[in-house]
Amino acid sequence: MNFVKPKKNLGQHFLTDQNIARKIVDSLGSDVPDVLEIGPGMGVLTQYLLNRPEINLHVIEIDRDSVAYLHENYPHLKHIWSEDFLKSQISLKFEGNFSIIGNFPYNISSQILFKVLELRNRIPEVVGMVQKEVAERIASKHGNKTYGILSVILQAFYDIEYLFTVSEHVFLPPPKVKSAVIRLKRNKVVELPCNEVLFVEVVKAAFNLRRKMLRNSLKSICEDLPLIYADKRPEQLSVNDFIELTKFIENLKKQINYAV
- The pLDDT tens digits of the residues spanning 194-248 come to 999 999 999 999 999 988 999 999 999 988 898 899 999 999 999 999 999 999 9
Q: Are 203 and 242 in contact (CB under 8 A)?
A: yes
Task: Give the pLDDT of residue 259.
Answer: 47
Among the listed residues 199, 178, 94, the one whose alpha carbon sits nearest the alpha carbon of residue 136: 178
- For the cut 90, the answer to whether the pLDDT of residue 163 exceeds it is yes
Which H or E element spans position 185?
strand 179-186
- For the cut 70, the answer to whether the pLDDT of residue 135 exceeds it is yes
Task: Give the pLDDT of residue 24.
Answer: 98
- For the cut 90, the answer to whether the pLDDT of residue 168 exceeds it is yes
Strand 171-172 and strand 99-103: the pairing is unpaired
Among the listed residues 112, 125, 136, the one whose alpha carbon sits nearest the alpha carbon of residue 60: 112
Helix, strand, coil fractions of the chain, as percent rounded to 5: 40, 20, 40
Q: What's the whole-number mean pLDDT along residues 2-15?
A: 87
Strand 34-38 and strand 99-103: the pairing is parallel
Cα 101 from Cα 129, distance rounded (Å): 8
SS3 2: coil
Q: How confident is the model at residue 257 (pLDDT cuts 50, 70, 90)?
A: low
Cα 136 from Cα 79, distance rounded (Å): 32
SS3 233: coil
Overall residue count recorded for the chain in this entry: 260
Task: Give the pLDDT of residue 116.
Answer: 96
Task: Give the pLDDT of residue 10.
Answer: 86
Among the listed residues 150, 153, 123, 116, the one whose alpha carbon sits nearest the alpha carbon of residue 136: 150
Q: What is the DSSP string of 28-72?
A: S--SSSEEEEE--TTTTTHHHHTT-TT-EEEEE-S-HHHHHHHHH
Tell me the Cα Rg of the chain. Answer: 20
Q: What is the DSSP string of 90-115?
A: GGGG-SS--EEEEE--GGGHHHHHHH
Q: How confident is the model at residue 165 (pLDDT cuts 50, 70, 90)?
A: very high
Task: Give the pLDDT of residue 1.
Answer: 64
Mean pLDDT value across the chain: 93
Cα 10 from Cα 138, distance rounded (Å): 23
Q: Are 130 and 112 in contact (CB under 8 A)?
A: no
Task: Give the pLDDT of residue 255.
Answer: 74
- For the cut 90, the answer to whether the pLDDT of residue 258 exceeds it is no
Phi, psi of 114 (to 5 degrees): -70, -35
Task: Give the pLDDT of residue 260.
Answer: 40
Task: Give the pLDDT of residue 8.
Answer: 86
Q: What's the whole-number mean pLDDT along residues 119-124?
A: 96
Q: Which of 56-60, 80-84, 136-140, 222-226 has the lowest mean pLDDT?
A: 222-226
Which H or E element spans position 24?
helix 18-26
